[in-house]
Structure 1
């Protein structure tokens, strides 16, 4: 899944090339190279005969730790024995890897709301009960850092999301972790939990779906920023269950172009 953006540098634009992966891909370095050369062909300046700087980044959020080579020259057979004059004929570059896997050690940096969203995704993908509780504890710790007016909204959104994507957990499972991490939020949490326990009512189901969709919209807002406009928000709110499930399944890897295509 390809996403690219550009930032203003001292000598022009620097392009940030981001490839999202939910699985380990051994040939991703060649895939990125094709993207880079394609951008260079498009952005080649015939006057200066120059191409822009491109920084490739792989954002990975699968289950296992990323274990793929990030430097192209290290993949060339026998390169360590080649004389320097022959090495000059080989294309070489490296990409950055942001390993947000469940077993990865990398910290997520950025706005607290972004951390909440990404850690909720990690908790949703946790393979064991222990991993789930550990990830959920991180989610609640970040929620505790949010401004007071946002705590209720994000806690409710996370609960709805996790109850929708995991069939092996209950409201009570979530509340057990919450009591340890957010002991001073009991009244707010119990109010939300009571609402969710009434999900058997038709009105409750409808409200739950609406809250879940708003949580998805919030995550996409965090990912795409200003490019995620109001028209896309409205299309998501009006989308059918199949489309919502597709977005939910690929929420961390879907590109803006793919999202627009899905919502046509």
Structure 2
């Protein structure tokens, strides 16, 4: 999508509102009193809009300002968009721009969202401006949208949900039970619940494979193969897929065992090599010491006493 072609309107708008004093007075005139009360207009600063999504840049001719709050805590951003043509989805577009500004703020290391105040400056031929500036009115179901987006979002918290409730969820119960308990309880403790869920016969083979692979990868058990085989014995309808999984885990265990054995062998070899190297180093040091002592006129008895060498070892070094 091509970027919006600058117009004479854009040039005039920008020429005035890139000037800090002009922008400050503009906001003093037009910001609602309740919002102006939290803005320290003396700290107004023009910001870059480089973070705006490309498809929005094609439409936006805006000014973005940052301001400190009157309490000195946090920031407020103000987006002023000028428009000479009415747009039914303008409120939603300005919301998207505002969220982009919030994301940029968070990306800079802040841990709370800033207040972003979008303002539309309209000078079109249709009068008055024909569309709502409430983005919730852009929905086909505005009342439901208002309830959804002005309250808490739905939360599914498995950590506080009783297992008895999870067990009534049929097709999603296996996923929920596995995700809730895999890392916290020994899998053998909830084998009975798994057997019951398998008896419902409402999961696909791929769902079962994925669930039990997950259990073995992150689950809390010392013997995953025994767990799978025990499950297969109590859920004969799924014995085929479960035994196949058990065999795969058994084969994987053998491969990992061989790999660990090779790794341990290499490690032992490295340790032996280091030990041999240290031994050779000590022998060379003793040999050098013996030669130095002989050069300085020390007798054999003195050398053996100081180095701990036997007569035979000393003779081997000398010769």
Name which structure has the greater RCO, CA cutoff 8 Å, separation 6+.
1
TM-score computed with the length of structure 1 as normaliser? 0.35
> Which of structures 1 and 2 has the bigger CA Rg?
2
TM-score computed with the length of structure 2 as normaliser? 0.30
